[in-house]
Amino acid sequence: MTVHVVIRYSSLGDIVLAGAVTAALGNVWFLTLPRYHDLARRLDGVVGVLAPGDPLPAGARVIDLHHNLRSLRVPAHARVERQDLRRRARVWWKAPPADPVVTRYARASAVAPRPPPWLPPARHGDALVLAPGAAHATKRWPHWQALAAAWPGPVRAVGGPGEEALVGPLGGTCEAGFERTLAAFEGAAVVCAGDTGLLHLGAALGLPVVGLFGPTTSTDGFFSYGGRALEIDLACRPCARFGGATCPVGDHLCLRGLDVDTVLQSCLAARRAAA
């Protein structure tokens, strides 16, 4: 059986999405940064993890899903197409979107992508799991507390380091080891999040997800399989490839205009559909 090495150094969402090809390939050694080893070793099809600089298994077929200056140092049989110009043209001139990330991963890997779950499935329950944070401020929806108050059942929140001010008021905890992050998803009915890695993590665990898209759109390549996307069609979108610190036009209507009832009803519909 062919041994594969899949390279993706970061970040959370990108590594999760790589599960679509590791599941299809099988017998994969995943080369990533040590802080993502706990995640990568759980992906379907992964038999081991490697850190940068570790020797590669003899005779392995190397697939570079990162394709940056660092990963170019590793001789590879195939590399993902980045489509940077298409992604910039999407922002600057509202050109058609680049190919989805999973599509590009699958093309480089020469496999048909597998649908989730790509991680051991989480137990379903009645909790609404919220991920209110995001690395970029313009990706943060401003109405999380109202949604939590309206949900007819338990609510918990998850977040990354430095997001205590967002997660704390929702009764959640910030990342303190990947085991605790995974535990927060147990018993979820629905995961609701912005365009972040935790949205992809919820889908990879086999949970229904509702994604709230603002500065990016659900067609820009990062949305998860089988999820529900909520977004407002505005001429200014997408305004950035990854989000930004402030809204370029000053009103942040793309997310501020997504009302609580619309999001609540979508989450309830996702729960019903999965029942």
What would the pLDDT profile of 9-54 be if each residue is shown by its tens digit? 999 999 999 999 999 999 999 999 999 999 999 999 999 999 999 9
pLDDT at residue 12, rounded to an integer: 92
pLDDT at residue 180, rounded to an integer: 83
Q: Is the pLDDT of residue 175 over 70?
A: no
CA angle at 216 for the pair 208 and 134, rounded to the nearest 5°: 70
* Nearby residues of 240 by Cβ (< 8 Å), 6 or more positions away: 91, 136, 138, 215, 216, 248
**Residue 200 near residue 17, CB atoms below 8 Å:** yes
What pLDDT digit, counting tens, does each position of 176-197 carry?
Answer: 678 888 989 999 999 999 999 9
The owner of tokens 């190397």 is 62
- CA gap 249, 268 in Å, rounded: 32
- Report the predicted TM-score, pTM, of the whole model to 2 decimal places: 0.95
10 or 167, higher pLDDT: 10
pLDDT at residue 176, rounded to an integer: 64
Q: Which fold has domain 124-274?
A: Rossmann fold (3.40.50)
1 or 206, higher pLDDT: 206
Domain boundaries, the chain: 4-109, 124-274
CA angle at 237 for the pair 260 and 234, rounded to the nearest 5°: 60
Residues of the chain above pLDDT 90, percent: 85
The one-letter amino acid code at 47 reads V
- CA gap 114, 24 in Å, rounded: 6
What pLDDT digit, counting tens, does each position of 123-151 carry?
Answer: 999 999 999 999 899 999 999 999 999 99
Which of 12, 18, 17 is CA-nearest to residue 33?
12
Mean pLDDT for 232-254 is 95
**Residue 120 near residue 89, CB atoms below 8 Å:** no
Q: Is the pLDDT of residue 172 over 80?
A: no
pLDDT at residue 167, rounded to an integer: 86
pLDDT at residue 1, rounded to an integer: 84
The residues pairing with 157 across neighbouring beta strands, listed in sequence order, are: 130
Q: Is the pLDDT of residue 241 over 70?
A: yes
Question: Cα dist. 135→91, 196, 253 in Å?
Answer: 19, 8, 19
247 or 171, higher pLDDT: 247
- CA gap 152, 162 in Å, rounded: 29
What pLDDT digit, counting tens, does each position of 53-88 carry?
Answer: 999 999 999 999 999 999 999 999 999 999 999 999
Confidence label for 109 from pLDDT (cuts 50, 70 and 90)? very high
- For all residues of the chain together, what is the average pLDDT? 94
